[in-house]
Amino acid sequence: MRADTDVLVTHEPGISLITFNRPARRNAFTARGYRQFARALEQAASAPEIAVAVVTGRGAAFSAGVDLKAFDNPAEHAALSAGFDQVLNALVTFPKPLIAAVNGAAVGFGMTMLLHFDLVLANENARFRAPFTELGLVPEAGSSDLLPRALGAQQATWLCLSGDWMEAPDAAKAGLVWRCVAGRVLDDALEVARQVRMKPTIAVQATKQLLTFGRRERIAEALRREHDTMVALVANATPDFERDAGSE
Amino acid sequence: MRADTDVLVTHEPGISLITFNRPARRNAFTARGYRQFARALEQAASAPEIAVAVVTGRGAAFSAGVDLKAFDNPAEHAALSAGFDQVLNALVTFPKPLIAAVNGAAVGFGMTMLLHFDLVLANENARFRAPFTELGLVPEAGSSDLLPRALGAQQATWLCLSGDWMEAPDAAKAGLVWRCVAGRVLDDALEVARQVRMKPTIAVQATKQLLTFGRRERIAEALRREHDTMVALVANATPDFERDAGSE
Amino acid sequence: MRADTDVLVTHEPGISLITFNRPARRNAFTARGYRQFARALEQAASAPEIAVAVVTGRGAAFSAGVDLKAFDNPAEHAALSAGFDQVLNALVTFPKPLIAAVNGAAVGFGMTMLLHFDLVLANENARFRAPFTELGLVPEAGSSDLLPRALGAQQATWLCLSGDWMEAPDAAKAGLVWRCVAGRVLDDALEVARQVRMKPTIAVQATKQLLTFGRRERIAEALRREHDTMVALVANATPDFERDAGSE
């Protein structure tokens, strides 16, 4: 465990705990952060002694999504894009139960990544925001497919169009969050992880595979549509795209 | 704005407000009403200065659906059917956010049309009813596909089989209504519309397109199944079909 | 009506009432019970005077699912498997409204069968459990497809992975149960059945067919995946499979 990394990985028996570690930037992702998160997931996926992974954030926020400052540097764009793809692939193919302990604000990809988790716990102060439209962008990370399924069409539409915050209790009612907890959410998430890791590993992974059947292909298609739309929008709507890039 | 039309259209910047205007018949649709509603939607869809459309009803009801008195006149059937198809096509292809302000009872197509809206607000006294089965009919307007998705299979089944009223607060819990509001629902709906119309238009429409991907084709298939079933039922079950036609 | 059968069938006008009748074994199924339940459904499906079927359990439990004691006898396995297939086929193809009155614990197939019902009523003390993972098994009876649709992905995942009980009020919130009732649930279920059977029969059955379109094929595919997974698991994980077989 190195304190100067963007993503910390620690362990307890059977469980990999992945912690976003840029609290000063509300755990926003640079290309380096994406790569480290992806690698942490890949290692948890392949390590035979790991049965479950738990993901949380250090500090007040869970994650602010991509670090919009990184977009100021055009040379960084390719690395950001590659890092994002690597994370997404690691999330979509993760074969073991993946549990989120949302300790604070989850914005942009900080929110949409949660749609790839099997169980999302959040503390009462956590909140969620999808500021795509106001940036002149559209839903990403497969969320155009996953969000309406998780929240219903109307809630998903409002979250995406408005950019409004959704508070944790509402997110729990809507189905984005599985459990909204009063205390320290990481404690609850680890307790859940310990319960899951006591079950026969092969049956657990086979169950995840059955329950999510078809999702991988559906997400791949959604990602293609989102990408094509984004390319078209950036071509036509550069002013909107840049407008609020610094505000988050 | 002409007071003798079945459907009024008014505007505020960026917003088209479409008001059903046959309060004496609980805003039920004749062929003329269908055509006027379809045209209002088509104009809002193509007018570049319009970003959002809001639909509401004048008087105590939102809409009682098709005017069953119109069915008394066989000569009207073809026009009713053509008008219905025109409205449905306008709803399904509407490219901008479509918001309903349900001010009272929504029955039959008055209810099933809501499944094509992006956001449905209702006041606390609004209520919903799908009296198809008791008329010897089946779900229409794509609702056989959309209703179970919006409400879950069991709630959808009960709504269709029972013909019972569903009150607005229950409809909000079930997912048919996005927001159930205490005051004048049109005020809230317009406020939501104003918030949406401030977002970059291209991104808003691209977001709707992504979030509803596949829906148009699914609805077309559901409409075919509903039509085929209806034809079969009318052939075999004319007595049932006529039985309660006057009661609504 | 014979008191020594595993499944009792009684009637009132238009309604077939099917009652699981092994209260001493918490209405668990042997091959005989499966066959009797399947036959009761088949008869209700084909009897022209029957419009609705209601299923409940005698005693404290609704059903504990398969009788794990039956697995002690390898000679019984083929009959169990055939009986299960017969029940599942009868459930999936049942053409009339199928209503469950869940009077107590519903475990394993006692729970997953409910996903094939059109309306599930439960009393306040009913509870639900899917102890597949802890037995080294995976979701069955099409539940790998139906459970995430009914409950959402996260609730479905937890129910399957944890083996924890879900209480009736939570099951109602989650969408597994349509109505959670205070009194004797069978009274409510019969009242609902009576209301449904007063509607035109052809329209009711056509409505069910439309609302469940595509489900039969989807379930057939899910059953294939579940079966293939189960075969693979039993080959590799026999010790886990046997481990807790006696505990339920």
Cβ-defined contacts of C76-84 (< 8 Å, 24+): C76/C30, C76/C31, C79/C31, C80/C30, C80/C31, C80/C34, C82/C31, C83/C29, C83/C30, C83/C31, C83/C32, C83/C33, C83/C34, C83/C35, C83/C38, C84/C29, C84/C34, C84/C109, C84/C141
Cβ-defined contacts of C20-24 (< 8 Å, 24+): C20/C55, C20/C56, C20/C57, C20/C58, C20/C62, C20/C63, C21/C58, C23/C57, C23/C58, C23/C59, C23/C60, C23/C61, C24/C59
Model confidence pLDDT, tens digit, residues A161-180: 999 999 999 999 999 999 99
> CB-based contact (8 Å) between A173 and chain B?
no
> What is the reported pTM?
0.93
Q: Is the pLDDT of residue B3 over 60?
A: no
Q: How far apart are CA A177 and CA A185, in angstroms?
A: 12
Q: How far apart are CA C172 and CA C188, in angstroms?
A: 15
The confidence score (pLDDT) of residue B69 equals 87
Q: How confident is the model at residue C67 (pLDDT cuts 50, 70, 90)?
A: very high
Q: How far apart are CA C73 and CA B215, in angstroms?
A: 50
Q: How far apart are CA B193 and CA A177, in angstroms?
A: 27
Q: Report chain A's terminal Cα–Cα distance, integer Å.
A: 29
- Average pLDDT on A210-226 reads 96
The alpha-carbon gap from B102 to the nearest alpha carbon of chain A, in Å, equals 15
The confidence score (pLDDT) of residue B74 equals 84
Paired tokens of C17: 């009432």
Q: What is the largest CA-CA distance in chain C?
A: 53
Strand order in the sheet with A52-57: A7-12, A15-20, A52-57, A98-102, A119-123, A179-181
- Residue B207 has its nearest CB partner, among A138, A232, A236, at A138
Chain C positions in Cβ-Cβ contact with residue A212 (cut-off 8 Å): 153
State the pairing for strand pair C7-12/C15-20.
antiparallel
Complex-level ipTM beyond the 0.85 threshold: yes
> CB-based contact (8 Å) between B42 and chain C?
no
Q: How far apart are CA C123 and CA A227, in angstroms?
A: 49
- Average pLDDT on C90-119 reads 98
Model confidence pLDDT, tens digit, residues C189-204: 999 999 999 999 999 9
Backbone φ and ψ of B18, nearest 5°: -105, 120
Closest chain B residue to the Cα of C174, Cα to Cα: B152
Q: Sign of dihedral through CA atoms C158, C166, C247, C111?
A: negative
- Average pLDDT on A79-92 reads 96
Model confidence pLDDT, tens digit, residues C18-43: 999 999 999 999 999 999 999 999 99
- Residue B199 has its nearest CB partner, among A134, A148, A157, at A134
Q: Do B153 and C195 touch (CB under 8 A)?
A: no
Amino acid sitting at position C138? V
- Average pLDDT on C66-81 reads 87
Share of chain B above pLDDT 90, in %: 85
Paired tokens of B154: 């069991």
- Cβ neighbours of residue B142 closer than 8 Å, sequence gap 6 or more: B88, B92, B112, B115, B116, B218, B219, B222, B223, B226
The alpha-carbon gap from C224 to the nearest alpha carbon of chain A, in Å, equals 11
Q: Do A178 and C158 touch (CB under 8 A)?
A: yes
Q: Are A26 and A60 in contact (CB under 8 A)?
A: yes
Closest chain B residue to the Cα of A222, Cα to Cα: B210
Chain B positions in Cβ-Cβ contact with residue C99 (cut-off 8 Å): none
The confidence score (pLDDT) of residue A243 equals 36
Paired tokens of B204: 């808003």
Q: How confident is the model at residue B2 (pLDDT cuts 50, 70, 90)?
A: low
The string of DSSP letters for C112-160 reads HGGGG-SEEEEETT-EEE---GGGT----TTHHHHHHHHH-HHHHHHHH
Strand order in the sheet with B179-181: B7-12, B15-20, B52-57, B98-102, B119-123, B179-181
Domain boundaries B7-197, corresponding CATH code: 3.90.226.10
> CB-based contact (8 Å) between C188 and chain A?
no
- Average pLDDT on B105-121 reads 98
Backbone φ and ψ of A2, nearest 5°: -110, 130
> CB-based contact (8 Å) between A165 and chain B?
no
Q: Are A158 and A202 in contact (CB under 8 A)?
A: no
Chain C positions in Cβ-Cβ contact with residue B156 (cut-off 8 Å): 211
**What DSSP state is assigned to residue C66?**
B
Cα–Cα–Cα angle for B26, B27, B33, nearest 5°?
A: 150
Chain C positions in Cβ-Cβ contact with residue B139 (cut-off 8 Å): 207, 210-211
Give chain A's radius of gyration (CA, Å).
17
Q: Do B157 and C97 touch (CB under 8 A)?
A: yes
> CB-based contact (8 Å) between A218 and chain C?
no
Paired tokens of B88: 């449905």
| A112 membership: H or E segment, kind and range | helix A109-112
Amino acid sitting at position B191? E
Q: Is the pLDDT of residue C60 over 60?
A: yes
Locate all alpha helices (DSSP H) within A175-214, ordered by sequence.
185-197, 201-211
Q: How far apart are CA A27 and CA A186, in angstroms?
A: 16
Superfamily of domain A7-185: 2-enoyl-CoA Hydratase; Chain A, domain 1 (3.90.226.10)
Paired tokens of A235: 């071509």
Q: Are A64 and A28 in contact (CB under 8 A)?
A: yes
The string of DSSP letters for A40-90 reads HHHHHHH-TT--EEEEEESSSEEE-SB-GGGGG-GGGHHHHHHHHHHHHHH
Q: How far apart are CA B146 and CA B162, in angstroms?
A: 18
Domain ranges of chain A: 7-185
The confidence score (pLDDT) of residue A139 equals 95
Q: Is the pLDDT of residue A85 over 80?
A: yes
Share of chain C above pLDDT 70, in %: 94
Paired tokens of B15: 């917003």
The confidence score (pLDDT) of residue C2 equals 55
Q: Is the pLDDT of residue C139 over 70?
A: yes
The confidence score (pLDDT) of residue A234 equals 81
Cα–Cα–Cα angle for C174, C176, C181, nearest 5°?
A: 95
Q: How confident is the model at residue A241 (pLDDT cuts 50, 70, 90)?
A: very low
**What DSSP state is assigned to residue B75?**
G
Instruction: Give the relative orientation of helices B185-197 and A153-162 as an angle to the nearest 10 degrees.
Output: 50
Paired tokens of C81: 């498997």
Q: How far apart are CA B36 and CA B41, in angstroms?
A: 9
Interface test with A, best of B199, B212, B217 (most A CBs within 10 A): B199
> CB-based contact (8 Å) between C23 and chain B?
no
Q: Is the pLDDT of residue C240 over 90?
A: no
> CB-based contact (8 Å) between C169 and chain A?
no
